[in-house]
């Protein structure tokens, strides 16, 4: 878990969550809402009628155009890149909960295998990380100083 992310969460919400990863998930939800996604929900459990499996979803949202009725986002605040197994798991969860689209949000990046699964399955690959003045890129929320970049088919 990134201390910079926990610091930002504490500055915005006044506390540090006890559960690892919660700060990153909540900040990811805030970014989606800021970008105009609607019905953004952080940390929910979901199952589909007629199926036994329940799934913990980090963030869900819907696109305001109605094109995407349900997006599920897997958030990974890790010190290593996201591997293929995370994408494989997300593909299964997306099918189980019948989501229209899926994305992975991380701080570090993705392995080659993860990228191949994302391209094959049309999963958005996102990075939300502390702003680096040496590599400014796209700064969407200047006062908060975080970057979002996307890599998808």
Domain ranges of the chain: 3-151
Q: Which residue has the higher pLDDT, 9 or 133?
A: 9
Does residue 139 carry a pLDDT above 70?
Answer: no
Which run of H or of E encompasses 139? strand 139-141
Write the CATH number of the domain with boundaries 3-151.
3.40.1350.10
Q: What value does the mean pLDDT take over residues 95-123?
A: 93
What pLDDT shows up at residue 15? Answer: 92
Cα distance between residue 58 and residue 52, in whole Å: 20
Q: What angle do CA 35, 128, 138 make, to 5 degrees?
A: 65
> Considering the chain, what percentage of its residues have pLDDT values greater than 90?
59
Nearest C-alpha neighbor of 127 from the set 144, 99, 152: 152
Q: What value does the mean pLDDT take over residues 87-111?
A: 94
Spatial strand order in the sheet of 101-106: 38-46, 55-62, 71-76, 101-106, 124-130, 146-151, 139-141
Nearest C-alpha neighbor of 67 from the set 38, 103, 45, 24: 38
Q: Rounded to the nearest 5°, which phi and psi values hold at 78?
A: -115, 160
Does residue 149 carry a pLDDT above 50?
Answer: no
Q: Count Cβ atoms within 10 A of the Cβ of residue 111 and give its class: 0-12 exposed, 13-18 middle, 19 or more buried.
A: middle
Q: What value does the mean pLDDT take over residues 125-153?
A: 53
Q: What value does the mean pLDDT take over residues 58-87?
A: 94
Q: Which residue has the higher pLDDT, 2 or 93?
A: 93
Q: What value does the mean pLDDT take over residues 74-91?
A: 95
Ranking 3-7, 37-41, 62-66 by mean pLDDT, the lowest is 3-7
What pLDDT shows up at residue 147? Answer: 32
């Amino acid at each position: 878990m990134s201390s910079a992310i926990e610091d930002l969460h504490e500055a915005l919400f006044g506390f540090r969550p006890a559960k690892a990863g919660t700060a990153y998930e909540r900040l990811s939800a805030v970014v989606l809402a800021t970008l105009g996604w609607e019905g953004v929900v952080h940390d929910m459990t979901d199952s589909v009628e007629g199926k036994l499996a329940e799934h913990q979803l980090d963030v869900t949202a819907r696109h305001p155009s109605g094109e995407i009725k349900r997006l599920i986002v897997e958030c990974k605040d890790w010190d290593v890149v996201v591997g293929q197994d995370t994408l494989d798991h997300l593909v299964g969860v997306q099918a189980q909960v019948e989501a229209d689209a899926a994305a992975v949000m991380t701080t570090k990046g993705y392995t080659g295998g993860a990228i191949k699964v994302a391209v094959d399955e049309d999963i958005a690959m996102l990075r939300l990380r502390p702003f680096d003045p040496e590599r400014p890129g796209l700064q969407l929320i200047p006062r908060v100083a975080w970057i979002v970049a996307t890599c998808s088919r």
